[in-house]
Amino acid sequence: MEIKLKLNGKNIAASVEADTVLLDFLREKGCLSVKRGCDTSNCGLCTVLMDGKPILSCSTLAVRADGHEIHTLEGLQEEASDFVGFIADQGADQCGFCNPGFVMNTIALLRENPDPTDDEIRAFLAGNLCRCSGYDGQLRGIRNYLNSRKA
């Protein structure tokens, strides 16, 4: 099937199988930040933005992206750079395999709610699993970033 979409700001056309999932399509297009962790929509590693909203690309068919705009972390480096250094300062990146999905969802959170409480952060990011960090370091990083913006 032929699809047209805007990927990280560029208009592209592609031919995809009906059963190709968006995750595989995006990796094939070189967006290697998009990770597969579970196959069952439980881990959040494959989070990308469709028309600005976070979706799980492992459970979205590529054809569903037809006519839409997709952003992966490759396309949002500057926006992510604003805050990920604060997470690095906590050492909370750890193995890093969950980082792109978690960073994408954090971007979505901060766009929707620029000044979230800790509980709002936990709730919004609850679908992003991390097995290494125990989560609190990620939270401290985001909190320090938010505080730095107020200072």
Partner 1 sequence: MEHKEYKSINKSVRKKDSMQLLLGKPVYTDDVTPKDALVVKILRSPHANAMVESIDTAAAKKVPGVVDIYTWEDVPQTRFAIAGQTFPEPSPYDRLIIDRHVRFAGDVVAIIAAETEKAALKAMKLIKVKYELLPAVLDFRSALDNPTLVHPEDDWEPPCEVGGDPKRNLVASDDEIHGDVEGIMAQCDIVLERTYHTKAYNQAMMEPFTCYASFDRYGRLHIISSTQIVFHTRRILSRALGIPKSKIRVEKPRIGGGFGAKQTAVCDVYPAFVAMKTGRPAMITYTREESQIAGSPRHEMEITLRMGAMNDGRIRVMDLYTLSNTGAYGEHGPTTVGLTGHKALPLYTGSLEAHRFHYDVVYTNLQAAGAYRGYGATQGIFAVESMVSELAEKLGMDATAIRDMNMIKEGMVMPAYYNEIANACALDRCMEHCRQMFDWEERSKVRDMGNGKIRTAGVAMGMQGSCISNVDVGSATLKLSEDGTYNLIIGAADMGTGCDTILAQMVAELMDCHVDDVAVFGADTDVSPYDSGSYASSTTYITGMAVVKACNELKKQICTIAAGMMDCEEEAVEFASTCVRRTGTEQTVSLTDIAYKAQVGSTVPAETTQTHTSPVSPPPYMVGMVEIELDKLTGKVDILDYMAVVDCGIPINPNLARIQTEGGIVQGIGHTLMENVTYDRNGRPAESSFMQYKVPTRQDMGRLKVEFEHSYEPTGPFGAKSIGEIVINTPGPAIAHAIYRATGKWFRELPITPEQIAMSLAEE
Footprint of partner 1 (CB under 8 A): 28, 32-33, 35-40, 42-43, 45, 72-74, 77, 80-81, 84-85, 87-100, 103, 122-123, 125-139
- Provide, rounded to whole angstroms, the least separation between the CB of residue 67 and partner 1: 25
Q: Smaller CB distance to partner 1: residue 64 or 135?
A: 135
Q: Smaller CB distance to partner 1: residue 12 or 38?
A: 38
- Provide, rounded to whole angstroms, the least separation between the CB of residue 143 and partner 1: 13
- Cβ distance 2 to 14 under 8 Å? yes
Residue with tokens 């766009």: 111
Q: Smaller CB distance to partner 1: residue 66 or 89?
A: 89
Which residues, other chains included, contact 7 with Cβ-Cβ below 8 Å and sequence gap of 6+? 26, 29, 31, 69, 70, 72, 75
**Judging by beta carbons within 10 Å of its beta carbon (0-12, 13-18, 19+), is residue 36 exposed, middle or buried?**
middle
- Provide, rounded to whole angstroms, the least separation between the CB of residue 72 and partner 1: 8
- Cβ distance 70 to 137 under 8 Å? no
For residue 21, the number of C-alpha atoms closer than 13 Å in the C-beta half-sphere is 17
- Provide, rounded to whole angstroms, the least separation between the CB of residue 144 and partner 1: 12
- Provide, rounded to whole angstroms, the least separation between the CB of residue 77 and partner 1: 6
Joined together, the tokens standing for residue 77 give 């480096």
Q: Smaller CB distance to partner 1: residue 3 or 43?
A: 43
Q: Smaller CB distance to partner 1: residue 67 or 91?
A: 91
